[in-house]
Amino acid sequence: MTYKNLLLKKEGNVSILSINREKALNALNSEVLDELSCAIDELSEDKNTYVVVLTGEGRSFVAGADIGEMSSLNAEEARTFAKKGLDTFRKLELMEKPVIAAVNGFALGGGCELSLACDIRLASSKAKFGQPETGLGITPGFAGTQRLPRLVGTGLAKELIYTAKTIGADEALRIGLVNAVYEPEALMEEALKLANEIASKGQLAVRYAKAAINHGVETDLDTGMEVERNVFGLCFATEDQKEGMKAFLEKRPAEFKCK
């Protein structure tokens, strides 16, 4: 499928999805959100895609939800717009395949929230993060009040959201908002290296692990451990488990087939 506001490139078992609305610093309007939702479906169904790298074209990852589109919304329309972003990001978060955000520039408001819905965040040293919404007289609307405190802790999330301040990549690394920071020209190479490393492992195991972690962080420990026990058991019904263990015992690299 071709998109007006997205670029989709496939390199082996890794797909690179890039938000391509440079004139508005990749701000998310309804059209971009709809396309993003379709692209997530496409990538979910694509048997050859094991890992997704999400990034932005130009100097921005995503500079937030589209302020022009939001400016004239009434309360009910704003709730509907928020639902579109919330549902799309939730779909991304619950996608079976891992998603790495390669944050190349501004990740503000809805852009920061989009990165939070990804499994892993890598940043360019030029990246800027923040939830500037209170400066616009609104709250975050694409789950920033929910995912940011879960990732960096309540105190830091409250400070970022109440002050609307922007932080650089090093500060984002210090507070655990990103996993690593790279020079801008090295970011995509490093993101692909990580994606390919993940893609070389047993994919069903990676997907079960993602599901167990996502489930576990939203429930109590005993329920989470039961989920882990179940996915652990499911692994033993896969060819990947047989191949992975056989390869270890035969002292050779495993050849996983995602079966």
8 phi and psi angles, rounded to 5 deg: -130, 120
> Least distance from C-beta 206 to ligand CAA, angstroms?
30
Residues 193-222 that bind ligand CAA (CB under 6 A): none
> Least distance from C-beta 22 to ligand CAA, angstroms?
9
243 is catalytic: no
Angle at CA of residue 58, ends 53 and 63, nearest 5°: 80
Among 110, 127, 187, 238, binds ligand CAA (CB under 6 A): 110
> Least distance from C-beta 128 to ligand CAA, angstroms?
7
Among 56, 98, 132, 202, binds ligand CAA (CB under 6 A): 132
Nearer to ligand CAA, 135 or 153 (CB): 135
> Least distance from C-beta 51 to ligand CAA, angstroms?
26
6-11 sheet: strands from edge to edge: 6-11, 14-19, 51-56, 99-103, 120-124, 180-182
Q: Which residues contact 129 (CB under 8 A, 6 or more apart)?
A: 103, 107, 108, 112, 115, 123, 166, 167, 168, 169, 171, 172, 177, 178
Judge whether 6 and 53 are in contact, CB under 8 Å: no
Nearer to ligand CAA, 50 or 106 (CB): 106
Here's the x/- map for ligand CAA, 12-31, by CB under 6 A: it reads as ------------xx-x----
Quote the DSSP letter at residue 145: H
Residue 137 in contact with ligand CAA, rule: CB under 6 A: no
Residue 140 in contact with ligand CAA, rule: CB under 6 A: yes
113 is catalytic: yes
Residues 50-109 that bind ligand CAA (CB under 6 A): 63-68, 85, 106, 108-109
Write b or e for each residue in 171-192: b if 16 or more Cβ atoms lie within 10 A of its Cβ, otherwise e: bbbebebbeebbeeeebbebbb
Nearer to ligand CAA, 136 or 254 (CB): 136
Judge whether 167 and 220 are in contact, CB under 8 Å: no
Judge whether 169 and 121 are in contact, CB under 8 Å: no
Residues 127, 188: Cα–Cα separation, whole Å: 13
Tell me which residues are annotated as active site: 113, 133
Which residues contact ligand CAA by CB under 6 A? 24-25, 27, 63-68, 85, 106, 108-110, 113, 132-133, 136, 140-142, 144
